[in-house]
Amino acid sequence: MCQPLPLAAIAALYHVSPAQLQPVTGGHVSHVYAYSDEQRSYILRITPPNPDIDLRAMRATLEWWAFLAAQGGPVPRLVASRNGNVIEVVQSGDQHYIAGAFEKAPGVLAEGMAPGDWSDELFQALGRTVGHCHRLAQQYEPARPEFRRPEWDASGNCFNPLESLDDADERILAERNHVLASIQALPKDRDSYGLTHLDLHFGNFYVDVAQQQILLFDFDDCAYGWYCMDIAMLLFDVLVVYDGLNPLQFGERFLENLLRGYHVAAPLSEFWITQLPHFLKLLEIGIYLILAPGYDPASADAWVSTFMPDRRDRIEHRRAYVDLDFAAIYRRAIAAHG
């Protein structure tokens, strides 16, 4: 049984009182609060005791986040506690809670924006943001070997849903293995493979439309993988989040502008963009495997209700997640740079 949440003790570490903490949505496991001082607003996340929580992994994630912030990367700044720590472990009885805080990003969550709020320039800003992170990843080495994040296929994530694989249907697993064969044959070099966000959906970044600024957060799944995996997830998610639009036309517009911005920060060759169908299919299968056991059309949320219908049939018949001419889109994006 969990002990009472030691909110007063944790709040004191950040120079606030429990009364100043305002609960906010967004935490599936953790308790998430907002608070402010005279200068800024902040987010405090408190993770309750959980046998699946790996403190070493959390420290590794925060080290990467802190590196990005120190290098001027597109992330909110982590906030140190009064003890000078970016992660605190607070005891309550015989159990431990993990706390950390960061500055609240300006703007709104991307998934809450209407399609009309997105301009080509804002999609390009998103591309520059992701490319900036990937360029910084090429320079990153963890301070200690034990803080190195895992490879993408050695950890649980949407591309590699470890907890869902054991009981998965054999036909779906066969399709996954078919896609994996193509992906595992891909080269790994400094310009294409490194530390990736790996959960870069539209609920994990804030957009300040007025300033054309985008800040990423929630690096809990970050792992070493191909940089185009983050590009694949953005394209994958935008076609679900903004389902009401013509998917081919909107997908072309989104990807072309995303790549225009990305190329400014971290040029990526045409070869990698033509590999996106493999990563999109692997992601499609992974998310299907996560959702299928508990899928109920009567109670599913909007995202799931859009994604799941006919999904199994599409996977089994190897239908493309989205049928785009990726090479042509890449060439148009690069041509825009002259």
Reported confidence tier of residue 254, pLDDT bands at 50, 70, 90:
very high
168 & 275 share domain = yes
Q: Is 99 helix (H, G, I), strand (E, B) or coil?
A: strand
In a domain, 288, yes or no: yes
| Rounded distance between C-alpha atoms, residue 201 and residue 198, angstroms | 9
* Domain with 183 in it: 108-335
In a domain, 304, yes or no: yes
Contact 74, 129 (CB under 8 A): yes
pTM: 0.93
Contact 55, 89 (CB under 8 A): yes
In a domain, 148, yes or no: yes
In a domain, 2, yes or no: no
Q: Which of 61, 88, 103 is the last residue of a domain?
A: 103
CA distances from 155 to 61, 140, 288 (A): 13, 20, 18
pLDDT digits (tens, 9 = 90+) for 57-91: 989 999 999 999 999 999 999 999 999 999 999 98
pLDDT digits (tens, 9 = 90+) for 261-312: 999 999 999 999 999 999 999 999 999 999 999 999 999 999 999 999 999 9
Contact 97, 10 (CB under 8 A): yes
In a domain, 60, yes or no: yes
User: Domain with 17 in it: what CATH number?
Assistant: 3.30.200.20
Comparing CA positions, the residue from 214, 252, 217 lying closest to residue 235 is 252
86 & 113 share domain = no
In single-letter form, the type of residue at position 212 comes to: Q
In a domain, 45, yes or no: yes
Q: Which of 103, 138, 170 is the last residue of a domain?
A: 103
In a domain, 36, yes or no: yes
